[in-house]
Amino acid sequence: MRHIILTIMGTIISGAAMAQMRHLSLQTCIDMAMKQSPTIRMANKQVERAQALQGTAWDLEKTELSLSQDPTSGGSPDNALSVTQSFDFPTVYIARRQQLKAETQAERSRLEMEQKNVEAAVASAYFQLVYQEQCLRNLRRQDSIMTRYRTVVRQRMEAGETGRRELINAERLQRENQLDIVQAENEAENARLQLMQVIGTDEPITAADELLTPIEFVLPAYNYQQTPEGRFSNDKLQAAERQVKVEKSGYAPSLSLSLRNQMVISSWNPYNEDRSRYDGGNFMGFEVGVGIPLFYGATKARVKAAKAEREQLQIQIQQEAQQRESQYNALLSRCNAARQRVEYYAENGCQWNDEMVRLATAEYEQGEIGYVEYVGILKDEIDVYQKRAEAINEYNQTVIELQRLCGTK
């Protein structure tokens, strides 16, 4: 009796706690995750960083400002204020710009891929919670059946129709089912905490859906290049191609331009030279220089390394495409097997099970069957509903993974 009271109190407390939680739909959970998930937030920051780095494409060297004075040359152009600017050949900046834009596009593709991954993770955690809650309801339903069974056994024992051994067995079965309820409650709580973690919230929440139903979806033909992961890999390859061009631009010459404005410090004349300015104003001169890469061994090595990185990425993409193709086929087989189980329980399994329990209950109360046979039917009843819930959950989880793999909903 003490165990029964504790179970009832635990159920009441659990129900009160559930009433205080927010009951959220799957779409609401996904929307929250898109805003709060650390993974999505970090991916957004990566896009912002890549966009900011595009401004470094036109990174000119520092402008050099110099003052030269020759007290022995009078007012010649050797006395001048000079401004010198060095810069790479224009094609170098264009190559850098294109490479940085490719990096930004790759980060956008990464963001899309992470969004699909988080969406799938939320859906998986959500339906896992619905499944655990369904298992808990099945066990609680079984507990009511066991309570009724125990009451009938006690009445039959008081009427002298059975012995105490049957009552002890009935109490044992009810106690074992109560222990299963406690374990199921713990698993449901773990599933709820997992959903909260995926969403990125500390607020107590639970699934709004109480009925565990199969997900309806249309599976498209699989094409790795059209998936978010495939697009991300292709964009990374494009960025690697652009990097090769950036390294090749190291063969281009560099340019420099100097402008000189005559500037004579007349008060500084240690040799008593005539340091007056040229007639007609300040003398303006200029100098143009070209840097020719005579020693290009380092540039050649960087080009070779960039090509090797590009080829390595190509091999990696090919390997990933093969792995995803195999994963898709394996998931498709699992999905088909789970769907057959779901269809069986939907068409016949549960109806037959309910009819068996109804007939067995009537026959047992009328004394037509013994308690061993009746208890076996009762245990089979909950087992059928648990198997049905397990089949639906297996089907839903494989559907979610297939949708994530294909990048669809």
Q: Which run of H or E residues covers position 199?
A: helix 164-199
Q: How far apart are CA 279 and CA 262, in angstroms?
A: 12
Q: How confident is the model at residue 273 (pLDDT cuts 50, 70, 90)?
A: confident
Contact 125, 191 (CB under 8 A): yes
Task: Look at 229 and 264; give whichever has higher pLDDT.
Answer: 229
Q: Half-sphere exposure (CA, 13 Å, Cβ side) for 368? A: 7
Q: Which has the minimum average pLDDT: 55-69, 88-102, 103-117, 351-365?
A: 351-365
Q: How far apart are CA 98 and CA 313, in angstroms?
A: 19
Q: How far apart are CA 390 and CA 395, in angstroms?
A: 9
- Mean pLDDT is highest, among 20-34, 69-83, 361-375, for 20-34
Task: Look at 60 and 267; give whichever has higher pLDDT.
Answer: 60
Contact 183, 17 (CB under 8 A): no
Give 336's contacts (C-beta < 8 A, 6+ positions apart). Answer: none
pTM greater than the 0.85 cutoff? no
Least Cα distance to 113 among 12, 26, 226 occurs for 226
Question: In the chain, what percentage of residues exceed pLDDT 70?
Answer: 91
Other beta carbons within 10 angstroms of residue 403's beta carbon come to: 19
H/E/C letters for each residue in 273-292? CCCCCCCCCCCEEEEEEEEC
pLDDT digit string (tens) for 306-317? 999 999 999 999
For the chain, the domains span 2-36+89-252+293-406
Q: How confident is the model at residue 327 (pLDDT cuts 50, 70, 90)?
A: very high
What pLDDT does 6 receive? 45
Q: How confident is the model at residue 147 (pLDDT cuts 50, 70, 90)?
A: confident
Model confidence at 5: pLDDT above 60 = no
* Alpha helix ranges (H) inside 61-163: 90-158
pLDDT digit string (tens) for 384-401? 888 889 999 999 999 999
Tell me the pLDDT of the chain averaged across its residues. 85
Task: Look at 47 and 347; give whichever has higher pLDDT.
Answer: 47
Strand 205-207 versus strand 254-262 pairing type: unpaired
Q: How far apart are CA 272 and CA 276, in angstroms?
A: 11
Q: Is 106 exposed, middle or buried (0-12, 13-18, 19+ CB in 10 A)?
A: buried
Tokens representing 258?
A: 């100097």
Other beta carbons within 10 angstroms of residue 57's beta carbon come to: 17
What pLDDT does 349 receive? 59
Average pLDDT over residues 90-115: 95
pLDDT digit string (tens) for 195-245? 999 998 888 989 988 888 888 888 777 899 999 999 999 999 999 999 999
What pLDDT does 272 receive? 80
Question: In the chain, what percentage of residues exceed pLDDT 90?
Answer: 51
pLDDT digit string (tens) for 336-379? 999 998 888 877 656 666 777 777 777 777 777 776 677 777 77
What pLDDT does 372 receive? 64
The b-or-e profile of 234-247 (16+ CB within 10 A means b, else e) is bbbbbbbbbbbbbb
What pLDDT does 170 receive? 79
Least Cα distance to 222 among 152, 322, 310 occurs for 322
What pLDDT does 186 receive? 95
One of 1.20.1600.10, 3.30.70.3420, 3.40.640.10, 3.40.50.300 is the CATH number of 2-36+89-252+293-406, namely 1.20.1600.10
Region of residue 82 (phi > 0: left; psi between -120 and 50: alpha; otherwise: beta): beta
Provide Rg for the chain, Cα atoms.
Answer: 39
Q: How confident is the model at residue 13 (pLDDT cuts 50, 70, 90)?
A: very low
What pLDDT does 2 receive? 45
Model confidence at 103: pLDDT above 70 = yes
